[in-house]
Chains A and B, each alone.
Chain A
Amino acid sequence: MTHLTARRRALLGAIGSGTITLTGGCLRQARSLTGWESSQQVRLRIKTVPDDADPYALTLARTVADWFRAAGIDTSITPMSEQELHRQTLLRNEFDLFLMRLPPRFTDPDALYTLLHSRFAEDPGWQNPFGYANLDVDDHLETQRRTNGSQRRDALRQLQLTAARTQPFTLLTVPDDVRAVRTTNYSNWRASSLDSSLGYLSLERSDDVDSETGGTLRVAITDRRATTNLNPLSVEFRRTGTLTGLVYDPLGYVFQDRLMPWLAETWEFSDDRSSTAQVTIRKGATWHDGKALTADDVAFTYRLLSDTTLGSDSDEETAPLPSPRYRGRSSLVANVNPIGDRTVEFQFADVTPSVARRAFTVPILPEHIWKERTDVASIAGIQTGSVTEALVTNNIPPVGSGPLRFVRNTPREEVVFERFDDHVLHQVDSPINDLVDQAGDAAFDTLSIQVVGSDVTAAEMVANDTADVTGTPVGADVIPRIGRRSESELLVQRSSSAYVLGYNTRNQHLNNPRFRHTLARLIDGEYIADAIVDGYGRPAVGPLWDTEWYPSELQWEERNPIANFLGSEGEIDVARARAAFREAGYRYEDGKLVGGRT
């Protein structure tokens, strides 16, 4: 934009100064000159969260920006709150690059379907926020849904190899989640990851819980969003959904790499290939407000997720408005019908049962509350376009059926839950499995989530016995602080949520896969793992790195096997970087990377 006005100004200036006479030949030349756009230095802007909100994101952004600058790219960083970052990137697509953590659910291969399939490029939320479109990838994504065994494995292999070459996003590092915990009141911290609800439900109470805290589990977090919004469908307010996962029950949880019944008692897939299943929910399930949870609620939930208007405006040709969250899982389901009070029949889309069962992990919502939220949302009576109340309500107080019931919230400070004594898994005759055995009963009476300003303060609260655990992970620089105090213990857990640099492939330069591939080669995963996360993390190429679906070609062996770093030890080799960009069709002018018609 700016160069255009600059050029126009230069032209006008030339005309105005009278140095040229306006002959026909001259005008012709001016006209043909305007066909040749002058090119400008490549400019990229990285959006991420500030240091208070995340221990590594901003340092990573600055390191990446330094590498990009070394290659002659004009790079800037804009920090913003996590909520704002989600709004600008996931909802409005206003970004060049974003740097944040990929939600943990993307370690399931089928989750990549909505992340990378081109048909989701226009959808809000974590549905292909990159605007990435690759027809081969689309085919592989569809094949892996429909096939089993070696066929599926091969589709996923091809998919990952193509994605690694074309780089819709670059995986920067997979950090370990480091937390400070107090082991005096609760134990069994290592049983399950604390970025899932099961981590909290697996805790065990120590015999000598001190009387002062009286059965309260105190969690210090740096993320204040949960104190103002507990809507499981909100795009901007949810990170991992751990808290809403404690309030709402899914039909099943993935536990020790297997999907196990939770709210469901059993599920049975039909033997023929018709892709249907019958799910029976446990006896005696109730909502926190005392109403019974029935098959109707289950069926309603899936209808709501696939269209939050519930087709209420179906007199017109209005498009359905699915919930951006759980979009991948709701897209597995074609139809859900209640059969009696406790049994539901699922008809799946054209997917294999092993993929289809992932649909059972969405939270079940109460029909009597959410059916009122299907209208188009409005501010002070003015309708604000295509979003329903269900997607933007703050949902406080939430009414779920889960092991914890909401008590109170103080915006930006605290949110408190209590154990729900009538939870379905507390019924004496409820069938038990390993999952229920470990996580079926909360070990605490009250859960208090307290917001603090930064990870240092959170760790200090654990040391001072004003908190039991840092709910959000802390940075490696806080570790010496935790080790210093005997009362607090260091908890290091392998995380499934990687830091990624997402590219907006709708934008100039970034729409070019070769350009993105070359950008990825400016990033030194080894250096990040060693120097930024201080060894508490590991480099990887794709989000499935820790699963059986990860192809051997992508295994990291001291360097990125696909996008090899153009330098060494965290230092860019400028000559090599320039050669790589020249090969991609770019030029250098005064050390600045220049290219494309802008």
Chain B
Amino acid sequence: MTLLHVVLQVVVVVALLHIIGLYTFVPVRDVRSLLSDAQTNARDVAPTALLFGIVLLANGFIRDAGVELSWLIGVNITGRIHALEGQFVATLQSYATPELTALFSFAYIFGYVFILTFPVVLYVFHDTKPLLTTLVAYSLNYAIGLGSYVLFVAYGPRNYMPELVESLLYTSWPQAQLLTSQVNVNTNVFPSLHASLAVTVALIAYRFRGRYGQWHSVAIVLATLIAVSTMYLGIHWLTDVIGGVVLAVLSVSIATRIVDGNRNRTAIRPRIRRRLRQL
């Protein structure tokens, strides 16, 4: 069991989930028109996608440098978070059962990858607006989250009160750590990007509900599971999750404003020009 095995496992499971999802939420249409729609949509959002790609790349590069910088200028708030919320996570974990652990581990790894990738695929077959909103909101999440990781150094509950909180994910599935340590650093817990990105998807799904069957219900349930899983597994504090939800609301509202603004501006501009000319 190496890293490669874990990655393969995730890819296969998430691909399966995608197929099921597409089959469920995309109305049956002519495949050719679907594909041509996807092509035009993809072309329309290409600049935004590029932006998101740059943010992701920067995230990869900066993450390591950010950790160094964080130790230099960041504030270590682990103790303060603990003083704020006490043993909430430990209480949550006291309800642990093997079944719940399996469910939440699944949500944390597979559910998370699915909820991040599926909307992009779903929306590309339909409409550019939710797609644009999603990409802009993702970029904002990463950018703000990363800044926050530099400013705040904090360890999760499993690292701070090991006698009360078990690293349930890693004790039940140790290989998962080979994967998570590739994309996470254990001092980057505030805010929870797991929670913020999942809630972002749910908020956007809810905003555009009606067009994609029950996708918004699935997204809301899955996002809730993911947010709870981060605490249940001892990785995040309640404070991180609340911070994540706030970040999600902020990102979605800014993204909505940007995307809607762009639309209106194209309509407004000729009018303004006409006004100016009259003046």
**Which A residues form the contact surface with B (CB < 8 A)?**
50-52, 58-59, 62-63, 76-81, 83-84, 411-412, 452-454, 456-457, 459-460, 464, 466
CB neighbours of A77 from chain B (8 A):
79, 160
Q: A452-B181, A466-B1 given. 8 additional CB < 8 A pairs?
A: A50-B186, A51-B162, A52-B186, A77-B79, A79-B76, A81-B187, A453-B177, A456-B171
Q: Which residue of B lies closest to A478 (CB)?
A: B171
CB neighbours of B160 from chain A (8 A):
50-51, 58, 77, 79
Complex A-B, nearest 9 residue pairs according to Cβ-Cβ distance, in ascending order = A50-B159, A460-B174, A453-B177, A51-B162, A453-B181, A457-B177, A457-B174, A51-B159, A50-B155
Q: List 22 A-B contacts (CB under 8 A).
A: A50-B186, A51-B159, A51-B160, A52-B159, A58-B159, A58-B162, A76-B79, A79-B78, A79-B155, A79-B159, A79-B160, A80-B76, A84-B71, A452-B177, A452-B178, A453-B170, A453-B178, A456-B171, A460-B174, A464-B1, A466-B1, A466-B2
Q: Which residue of A lies closest to B166 (CB)?
A: A477
On whether A454 and B1 interact (CB within 8 A), knowing A51-B158, A81-B71, A412-B64, the answer reads no
Distance between A169 CB and nearest chain B CB, rounded to angstroms? 22
Cβ of B101 under 8 Å from chain A = no
Q: Mark B173-199, 1 if CB is under 8 A from A, else 0.
A: 011011011000011000000000000
Q: CA of A500 to CA of B155 in the docked complex: distance in angstroms?
A: 22
Cβ of B99 under 8 Å from chain A = no
Q: Which residue of B lies closest to A46 (CB)?
A: B79
Chain B 129-148 residues near chain A, CB threshold 8 A: none
Q: CA of A459 to CA of B83 in the docked complex: distance in angstroms?
A: 33
B76 adjacent to A78 (CB under 8 Å):
yes
Distance between B170 CB and nearest chain A CB, rounded to angstroms? 5
Cβ of B163 under 8 Å from chain A = yes
Q: Which residue of A lies closest to B174 (CB)?
A: A460
Distance between B80 CB and nearest chain A CB, rounded to angstroms? 9
CB neighbours of A456 from chain B (8 A):
167, 170-171, 174, 177
CB neighbours of A80 from chain B (8 A):
71, 76, 153
CB neighbours of A50 from chain B (8 A):
155, 159-160, 186
A62 adjacent to B161 (CB under 8 Å):
yes
Q: CA of A272 to CA of B26 in the docked complex: distance in angstroms?
A: 95
Q: Which residue of A lies closest to B184 (CB)?
A: A453
A78 adjacent to B79 (CB under 8 Å):
yes
Q: Which residue of A lies closest to B1 (CB)?
A: A464
On whether A457 and B158 interact (CB within 8 A), knowing A62-B163, A79-B78, the answer reads no
Distance between A58 CB and nearest chain B CB, rounded to angstroms? 6
Q: CA of A77 to CA of B161 in the docked complex: distance in angstroms?
A: 10
CB neighbours of B187 from chain A (8 A):
81
Q: CA of A339 to CA of B79 in the docked complex: distance in angstroms?
A: 58
Q: CA of A76 to CA of B155 in the docked complex: distance in angstroms?
A: 14
Q: CA of A62 to CA of B78 in the docked complex: distance in angstroms?
A: 13
Q: Which residue of A lies closest to B79 (CB)?
A: A76
Q: CA of A411 to CA of B170 in the docked complex: distance in angstroms?
A: 23
Of A50, A62, A63, A83, chain B has the most CB atoms within 10 Å of the CB of A50
Q: CA of A456 to CA of B172 in the docked complex: distance in angstroms?
A: 10
Q: Which residue of B lies closest to A87 (CB)?
A: B71
Q: CA of A58 to CA of B161 in the docked complex: distance in angstroms?
A: 7
CB neighbours of A454 from chain B (8 A):
167, 170, 177
B159 adjacent to A453 (CB under 8 Å):
no
Q: CA of A216 to CA of B182 in the docked complex: distance in angstroms?
A: 24
**Which B residues form the contact surface with A (CB < 8 A)?**
1-2, 64, 71, 76, 78-79, 83, 153, 155, 158-163, 167, 170-171, 174-175, 177-178, 180-181, 186-187
Q: Which residue of A lies closest to B78 (CB)?
A: A79
CB neighbours of A84 from chain B (8 A):
71
A453 adjacent to B76 (CB under 8 Å):
no
Q: Which residue of A lies closest to B179 (CB)?
A: A453
B162 adjacent to A59 (CB under 8 Å):
yes
Q: CA of A229 to CA of B270 in the docked complex: distance in angstroms?
A: 61
CB neighbours of B171 from chain A (8 A):
456
CB neighbours of A83 from chain B (8 A):
71
CB neighbours of B158 from chain A (8 A):
51
Distance between B169 CB and nearest chain A CB, rounded to angstroms? 10
Q: CA of A452 to CA of B167 in the docked complex: distance in angstroms?
A: 15
Q: CA of A84 to CA of B155 in the docked complex: distance in angstroms?
A: 14
CB neighbours of A466 from chain B (8 A):
1-2
Q: Which residue of A lies closest to B172 (CB)?
A: A456
Distance between B12 CB and nearest chain A CB, rounded to angstroms? 20
Distance between A56 CB and nearest chain B CB, rounded to angstroms? 9
CB neighbours of A59 from chain B (8 A):
162-163
Q: CA of A454 to CA of B175 in the docked complex: distance in angstroms?
A: 11
CB neighbours of B155 from chain A (8 A):
50, 79
Q: CA of A78 to CA of B74 in the docked complex: distance in angstroms?
A: 13
CB neighbours of B64 from chain A (8 A):
411-412
B162 adjacent to A460 (CB under 8 Å):
no
CB neighbours of B162 from chain A (8 A):
51, 58-59
Point out the residue from B76, B83, B163, B178 that lies within 8 Å of A457, measured CB to CB. Answer: B178
CB neighbours of A411 from chain B (8 A):
64
CB neighbours of B153 from chain A (8 A):
80
Q: CA of A83 to CA of B71 in the docked complex: distance in angstroms?
A: 10
Distance between A447 CB and nearest chain B CB, rounded to angstroms? 19
B78 adjacent to A457 (CB under 8 Å):
no
Q: CA of A62 to CA of B155 in the docked complex: distance in angstroms?
A: 15
Q: Which residue of B lies closest to A47 (CB)?
A: B76
Distance between A527 CB and nearest chain B CB, rounded to angstroms? 13
Q: CA of A466 to CA of B171 in the docked complex: distance in angstroms?
A: 18
Q: Which residue of A lies closest to B181 (CB)?
A: A453
B170 adjacent to A457 (CB under 8 Å):
yes
CB neighbours of A51 from chain B (8 A):
158-160, 162, 167
Q: Which residue of B lies closest to A61 (CB)?
A: B160
Q: CA of A359 to CA of B180 in the docked complex: distance in angstroms?
A: 44
Distance between A293 CB and nearest chain B CB, rounded to angstroms? 35
Q: Which residue of A lies closest to B234 (CB)?
A: A51
Q: CA of A313 to CA of B163 in the docked complex: distance in angstroms?
A: 53
CB neighbours of B78 from chain A (8 A):
78-79
Point out the residue from A52, A63, A81, A460 that lies within 8 Å of B175, measured CB to CB. Answer: A460
Q: CA of A233 to CA of B162 in the docked complex: distance in angstroms?
A: 33
CB neighbours of A52 from chain B (8 A):
159, 186
Q: CA of A558 to CA of B160 in the docked complex: distance in angstroms?
A: 30
CB neighbours of A63 from chain B (8 A):
163
Q: Which residue of A lies closest to B187 (CB)?
A: A81
B175 adjacent to A457 (CB under 8 Å):
yes
Q: CA of A459 to CA of B178 in the docked complex: distance in angstroms?
A: 13
Q: Which residue of B lies closest to A80 (CB)?
A: B76
CB neighbours of A62 from chain B (8 A):
161, 163
Q: CA of A459 to CA of B175 in the docked complex: distance in angstroms?
A: 11
CB neighbours of A452 from chain B (8 A):
177-178, 181
CB neighbours of B76 from chain A (8 A):
78-80
Distance between A317 CB and nearest chain B CB, rounded to angstroms? 32
CB neighbours of B177 from chain A (8 A):
452-454, 456-457
Distance between B226 CB and nearest chain A CB, rounded to angstroms? 20
Q: CA of A78 to CA of B76 in the docked complex: distance in angstroms?
A: 7
Q: CA of A50 to CA of B186 in the docked complex: distance in angstroms?
A: 9
CB neighbours of A81 from chain B (8 A):
71, 187
